[in-house]
Chains A and B, each alone.
Chain A
Amino acid sequence: MINASERIRWYPGFREIALLCLVILYAPLIIVMIYSFNDSPSITVWKGFSFVWYEEVFTGPEAERFKQATVNSLIIAVSAAITSTAIATASALAMIRGRRFRGQAMTFGLINLPLMVPEIVTAVATLIFFASIGFDRGILSILLAHIVFCIPFAYLPIAARLQGIANVYEQVARDLYATPGQTFRLILFPMMLPGILSGFLLAFIISLDDFIITNFVKGAGVETLPTAIFGAVKQGIKPNIMAISTLMLVASFLLVTIAYFISRMGDQRK
C-alpha cells in the first residue's frame, strides 16, 4: 500500500528517466565490451565469441608499445597518488585540526584550484612553464603535473573523514602524555585510514585517466596508456582498442568498488 506522502513525492516518468539515464550511461560501455569478444576483423559484423583481440593486445604488433605505455601509466599513477595523498593528508590535518589562521580560506581555494581551472588551461600553462625553465619533458614532467591535480581529489575524502572523527580521541591520548607524533601514529592515522585509502585510490584513477594535460607535457616518444590509445584511435577504432578498453573498464570498476567499500566500512565503524 502506498501512503499519501509517498504519492505526493511521486512524479510520472521520473523513474523511467532515471532508468533511461542508466541505459545511456552504460550502453556504450557494455556494447564495447561485447564487441571486444567479436571473432571478426570487421568491428561491425558479429561473427561469434572469441578471445582473439585479447591475444592481439598482448602479442600483436602493437603489444610492445601498449605494454610500455601501461608501465609508464602505472609508474606515474602510483607515484602521483602516493605523493598527493601524503600532501593531502598533511594539509587536511593542518586545515581541520589546526587553529584558524590568516589565509585559511585562500589555502582552501589553492588546494581546490586545480578543480576550478579548466584542464586545457592547466595543460597550456604547465607546458609553458616547463618549456620556459628548460625542464626536460618526459615521465618526470608528467608526474609533477599529475601530482597537482591529484591533490584536491585525495584531499576531499581525507578531509571528510577527519571531520567525522571527534577530537576527543587525540585529547585523551594527549592527556595520557602521548606526544603529537605518537597520537597521530597510534590514534589518528588508523582512524583516518579509510579516508586516506579512498583518497589514494581516487588520485590513482584520476592520474590514470588523464589525457589532455599528459598530452601537452609529455615529451616526444613518451606515451601513457590514454595517449597511446588516442594515437591509435585517430587511425580508426580497431578491435584491439576495444579489448584494451574493456580491460581498463574492468580495472576502473574494481578500483572504484574497492574505494566505495573501504569508505563505507570506515563510516560504519564510526
Chain B
Amino acid sequence: MAGIIKPTGKPAKLADGTQTSIVDGRQHLLLLPAWLIIGVLLVIPVLLMLTYSFLVQDFRGGVIWEFSLEAYDQFFFDRGLFGDEPPSIEWTYIGIFWRSFVQALLAMIFCFLIGFPTAYFIATRPQKSRAFWLFLVTIPYWVNLLIRTVSMKFLIRDNGPINTWLLSGGIIDEPIGMINTGFAIQLGLFYSYLPFMVLPIYASIERYNFALSEAAADLYSSRWMTLFKIVIPSVRPGIIAGCILVFIPSLGAFLAPDLLGGAKNFMIGSLVEEQFKGQAGDWPFGAAVSMILLSIIMVILLFYARAQNRQNDGGH
C-alpha cells in the first residue's frame, strides 16, 4: 500500500512560516455546487415568486405577464362582487393569518410548558443518561411527520381509541369532540415540533452554572423564586431560540391543520395550497400570500438576530 502513495505535495509550512491548508486555491470550487444549487433552486425561485405576486391571474392556472397589484389588493381590500364598490378592509385573509398566528402561539406556549421542565429534567440527569433521554425525545421527530399526524388523528377521532376507552369505561356518555378543533391543531403542532423546543433549552441549561442556584438558596431564595429570577433569565437565549424554532414552522404548517383541524380551522398553509391545486388556482394570489408569510417570518428572524447581537455586545 505504501508503495502506491507517491509523496509529491508541498510541505505544510512554507518558508515564510505561513501554514497551508488542503483546500488552498480550491475554496471557491468546493463551494460552487452549494452556491449553484441553493442559488438556482431556492434564491431565484423566491425572487420569481415575488415577481409572480405582481402579475395577473390566468384562469387556466398560470399567469399573464402584466404588472398588477391585484393579488395584494385582493388580500387586503374588499371591493364588492363586481369590484366597483368603494374598498373596505377584507377580513377573510387577515383573519386566516390571525388564526394561524394564535394557533402557532398557543402551540409554542404548550411546547414551552412541557418542554422547559423536560429539558431541565434531562439536563440535571447524570451525564450518562442524558444522551439516552435526548435520544428518546428526538426519535419521534425523525418519524415521518405525515405518519405522526395521521397517528394523532387516529388517536383522537370521535370513534378512536381514547373515546372508545372512555365510553366503555363509563367515564363519558358521548365522545369528546377533539378532532376538527383548534385544540387538535395545537396538539398536532406541539407533537410535530416539541424537540425544537427541548433541544435549545437543554443546551442552555447544560451550560448553566448551578452554583448560582446554590448561592440563591444560601441567600434564602425559595426554590421557585430561584427558578424564575435566576435560572430562566440565565437560559433565556435557549428559550427564545426554542420558541422561534417552534413558532415559525407552526405558522406555515400544512399537515396538522389540514388533517386535524378540518375545514373550519383553515390556516395559512391550506390557503396557499388551495391556490395551486388544479385549474381553479390563483397563482399570483398564492404567491402574494406566500410573500406576506415570508416577510412576517423574516421580520421575526431579524428582531431575533438583533436581540442576539445586542446580548453578545453586552456580554463583553
Chain A residues with CB under 8 Å of chain B are 4-5, 8-11, 13-15, 17-18, 20-22, 24-29, 31-32, 35, 43-44, 86-88, 90-91, 93-95, 97-99, 101, 107, 110-111, 113-114, 116-122, 124-129, 131-132, 144-145, 147-148, 151, 167, 170-180, 182-184, 186, 188, 205, 208-209, 211-212, 215-216, 226, 229-230, 233, 237, 241-242, 245, 248-249, 252-253, 255-256, 260, 264
- Distance between Cα atoms of A72 and B118 in the complex (Å): 39
Interface residue? B15 (CB, 8 A): no
Name A212's contact: one of B11, B148, B150, B254 (CB within 8 Å).
Answer: B254
- Distance between Cα atoms of A116 and B117 in the complex (Å): 27
Name A17's contact: one of B118, B153, B164, B194 (CB within 8 Å).
Answer: B118
- The residue in chain B whose Cβ has the minimal distance to the Cβ of A264 is B131
B151 touches A31 (CB 8 A): yes
B213 touches A9 (CB 8 A): yes
B12 touches A10 (CB 8 A): no
A17 touches B34 (CB 8 A): no
Cβ contacts B75-108/A at 8 Å (1 or 0 each): 0000000000000000000000000000000000
Question: Which B4-55 residues have C-beta < 8 A from chain A?
Answer: 5, 7-13, 19-24, 26-28, 30-31, 33-35, 37-39, 41-46, 48-49, 52
The residues of A that contact B183 with a CB separation of less than 8 Å are none
Chain B residues with CB under 8 Å of chain A are 5, 7-13, 19-24, 26-28, 30-31, 33-35, 37-39, 41-46, 48-49, 52, 62, 114-115, 117-118, 120-122, 124, 131, 133, 135-140, 142-148, 150-155, 157, 159-161, 164, 190-191, 194, 198, 210, 213-214, 217, 223, 226-227, 248-249, 251-255, 259, 268-269, 272-273, 276, 283, 286-287, 290, 293-294, 297, 301
Name B153's contact: one of A22, A97, A237 (CB within 8 Å).
Answer: A237
B46 touches A248 (CB 8 A): no
The residues of A that contact B62 with a CB separation of less than 8 Å are 131
- Distance between Cα atoms of A258 and B131 in the complex (Å): 15
The residues of B that contact A18 with a CB separation of less than 8 Å are 117-118, 121-122, 133
Provided the pairs A110-B38, A180-B23 are in contact, do residues A119 and B249 lie with their beta carbons within 8 angstroms?
yes
Q: List 14 A-B contacts (CB under 8 A).
A: A21-B114, A87-B34, A94-B28, A99-B24, A99-B27, A113-B42, A118-B251, A118-B297, A174-B12, A174-B20, A209-B142, A209-B145, A211-B145, A233-B150
- Distance between Cα atoms of A11 and B210 in the complex (Å): 13
- Distance between Cα atoms of A117 and B254 in the complex (Å): 14
The residues of A that contact B146 with a CB separation of less than 8 Å are 209, 211, 226, 229-230, 233
Name B276's contact: one of A113, A127, A184 (CB within 8 Å).
Answer: A127
B27 touches A98 (CB 8 A): yes
Name A129's contact: one of B44, B144, B227, B249 (CB within 8 Å).
Answer: B44
- Distance between Cα atoms of A35 and B291 in the complex (Å): 42
The residues of B that contact A22 with a CB separation of less than 8 Å are 136-137
Name A24's contact: one of B12, B31, B114, B287 (CB within 8 Å).
Answer: B114
Provided the pairs A24-B114, A128-B283, A182-B5 are in contact, do residues A151 and B147 lie with their beta carbons within 8 angstroms?
no
Minimum C-beta distance from A32 to chain B (A): 4
B22 touches A148 (CB 8 A): no
Minimum C-beta distance from B177 to chain A (A): 16
Name A121's contact: one of B46, B198, B255 (CB within 8 Å).
Answer: B46
A28 touches B34 (CB 8 A): no
Name B8's contact: one of A32, A43, A179, A241 (CB within 8 Å).
Answer: A179
The residues of B that contact A179 with a CB separation of less than 8 Å are 8-9
The residues of A that contact B48 with a CB separation of less than 8 Å are 125, 128-129, 132
- The residue in chain B whose Cβ has the minimal distance to the Cβ of A12 is B223
